[in-house]
Amino acid sequence: MGYLDGFRITLKQMWGDRVTNVYPDEKRPKPDRFHGRHVLNRYEDGMEKCIGCELCAGVCPARCIYVRGADNPPDEPVSPGERFGFVYEINYLRCIHCDLCVEACPTEAITESKLFEFSFTDRQDAIYTKAELVVDDDGNPQKLPWEDWRPGDEQHTSAWVRATAPSGSAAYEGRVGWSGELGFGVRAPEKGQTAETDRAASAAPRKAKS
């Protein structure tokens, strides 16, 4: 292939259908289970969900999470448990957004938003502290100056849900039900085993195939 053939291919693409967006003015919609920047949740009464168990740090394959737990003050407890996350840091220069920390958390204290675009001028800004990760008084993630938040980035978080037995009913043994995710980005349970119509259908005898 000569030089002119190469230019011919390039020029041909200039008049073809565009498959890209005018970034950053336009962005493609993100999937429901998109993994972005983490958020530390609170309960409705303001208490933090993190109990400082350090399971998220232990399961992290990139070793980007550092947690130090401390005993709750008797007079002004930070969390409902005996301990709380005294120090909580995530190094986003190492994080691979695998979501394993979300799955390991026993209290659903940590979830992920859909924000993934960071613009750091200082490497220290890439290490998020607990003060930056905990949601505000309205239950929304804090939006820092170097983050490019767009509408919808704070919706549904990581869309991760915990598998549970529907109301403990023995009729659903061996079947998987899904409960809604607690905390920031609350989403309703997925339709299926917890719906009344499914319960009635499971109780009815199956029709024999003709």
Question: pLDDT (tens digit, 9 = 90+) per residue, 188-206?
Answer: 555 554 445 444 545 544 4
CA–CA distance, 45 with 80 (Å, rounded to integer): 10
Considering 5-14, 17-26, 40-49, 194-203, the range whose residues carry the highest mean pLDDT is: 40-49
Please check whether residues 196 and 125 belong to one and the same domain.
Answer: no
**Any idea what the CATH number is for the domain that residue 43 is in?**
3.30.70.3270
Whether 115 and 169 map to the same domain: the answer is no
Distance from C-alpha of 86 to C-alpha of 66, rounded to nearest angstrom: 11
Are 101 and 65 a contacting pair, CB within 8 Å?
yes
Rounded to whole angstroms, the Cα distance separating 203 from 23 reads 52
Considering the domain architecture, whether residues 138 and 168 belong to the same structural domain is answered as no
pLDDT at 207: 46
Residue 210 lies in a domain: no
Q: Where are the beta strands (DSSP E) in 62-158?
A: 65-71, 83-91, 110-112, 127-128
Mean pLDDT across the stretch 147-162?
Answer: 68
Q: Is residue 190 part of a domain?
A: yes
pTM metric for this prediction: 0.69
Residue 78 within any structural domain of the chain: yes
* Residue at a domain's end among 109, 142, 175: 142
The residue range of the domain holding 107 is: 31-142
155: pLDDT strictly greater than 90: no
Examine the domain organization and report whether 128 and 170 are in the same domain.
Answer: no
Cβ atoms within 10 Å, residue 206: 7
Say whether both 88 and 184 belong to one domain: no
**What is the arithmetic mean of pLDDT over 150-179?**
60
Assigned domain for 66 exists: yes
97 and 35 within one domain: yes
In angstroms, the CA 20 to CA 26 distance is: 10
pLDDT at 181: 46
Query: How many domains are contained in the chain?
Result: 2
Is 123 found in the same domain as 46? yes
Do 83 and 72 contact (CB within 8 A), yes or no?
Answer: yes
Based on the domain organization, do 70 and 135 belong to the same domain?
Answer: yes
pLDDT tens track for 43-64 = 878 889 999 999 999 999 999 9
In terms of Cα–Cα distance, which of 84, 40, 88 is closest to 64?
88
Please check whether residues 43 and 119 belong to one and the same domain: yes
